Amino acid sequence: MTTLAATAELNSIESSALARSFTGGMISFARREFRDAIASKWFVLYTLAFTVLAVGVSFLSLSGVGSQGFAGFGRTAAGLLNLIMLVVPLMALTAGAGSIAGERERGTLLYLLAQPVSRTQVLLGKYLGLAGTLVCSLCIGFGVSAGVLAWKAGGVGVGAYAMLVAFTVLLALAMLSVGMLISVVSRKTTVATGLALFIWLSLVFVSDLGLMASSILFKLRVQEVFGLALLNPLQAFKMAVIVNMNASLDVLGPVGAYASLTFGGSLAWILASTLVLWMVVPLGLATLLFARRGTV
């Protein structure tokens, strides 16, 4: 019994050491990626563009409302919704698409893999670093916009604004996962970026038009249209934000009314879970493909 207990304790210690080693290596790569991304031109450009657009849309959406020209955070959240659906997926997809493919094209991926780390540590570390960079970029834009609103209109509707920020971060992480998957399967940065732009266009424009056309052409039931809408993370994001702003999904037509009546209070959790799946599944697939790849 003593020998078995000692063996079990030794195995436990070794497992703990391996876990610490795995986590430590992943965090090291995350820090490296975060530093490189913060210093890159795309971070400055995306942050500046998102901040300017966020503040501009805030002024435009709230101008002429109330004695001070602002109605608070709630109306701003509604005004920022379409902007986020256009800009944030583009930011995340292109950032993720250039990660592994960029290292491979520059020849630095071979150097990284020559270190005493696994491929999984490299990929997850790069994902965490880019995720931290995207969150910083979004928080700067939202923070500046929130500062202007707080100065002009106080804290009216700050809860809706906070929920918008939370769901935007979730959307960015989901699209970053898709971008990482694109980067793993692409040999060149130009190919990865082109695929990322194609997927962005498909999600933003083609999916809406295709969904409407399919519902008319194939006479889809409202349940089927709702199911197809959930396959698009941008649509799931839009519905989740509207629900958490305590607004009625009736604005989305019969599909929104069906979702509200059928799922009720659990609808917000279903939509949030959809975004989480879009974050976990592509990243898991990218990790599996990258770990099993025999060549750089």
For 51-62, what is each residue's pLDDT tens digit? 998 888 877 766
- Cα torsion 107, 108, 109, 114 to 10°: value is 110
Residues with Cβ < 8 Å from 279, sequence gap 6 or more?
Answer: 170, 173, 174, 176, 177
Residues with Cβ < 8 Å from 164, sequence gap 6 or more?
Answer: 77, 80, 81, 84, 241, 245
The answer, yes or no, to whether residue 16 has pLDDT greater than 70, is: no
Please state the rounded mean pLDDT for residues 33-49.
Answer: 87
Q: What is the pLDDT of residue 187?
A: 86
Q: What is the pLDDT of residue 88?
A: 93
Residues 160 and 122 sit within 8 Å (Cβ to Cβ) = no
Q: What is the pLDDT of residue 224?
A: 72
Q: What is the pLDDT of residue 271?
A: 87
Q: What is the pLDDT of residue 13?
A: 35
pLDDT above 70 coverage of the chain, percent: 75
At 230, list the tokens: 């959930």
The answer, yes or no, to whether residue 170 has pLDDT greater than 90, is: yes
Q: Is pLDDT larger for residue 204 or for residue 2?
A: 204
Residues with Cβ < 8 Å from 20, sequence gap 6 or more?
Answer: none
Measure the CA–CA gap between 52 and 73, rounded to whole angstroms: 17
- Cα torsion 275, 178, 127, 95 to 10°: value is -110
Q: Is pLDDT larger for residue 78 or for residue 170?
A: 170
Measure the CA–CA gap between 33 and 103, rounded to whole angstroms: 11
The answer, yes or no, to whether residue 64 has pLDDT greater than 60, is: no
Q: Is pLDDT larger for residue 217 or for residue 271?
A: 271
Q: What is the pLDDT of residue 197?
A: 94
Measure the CA–CA gap between 257 and 293, rounded to whole angstroms: 46
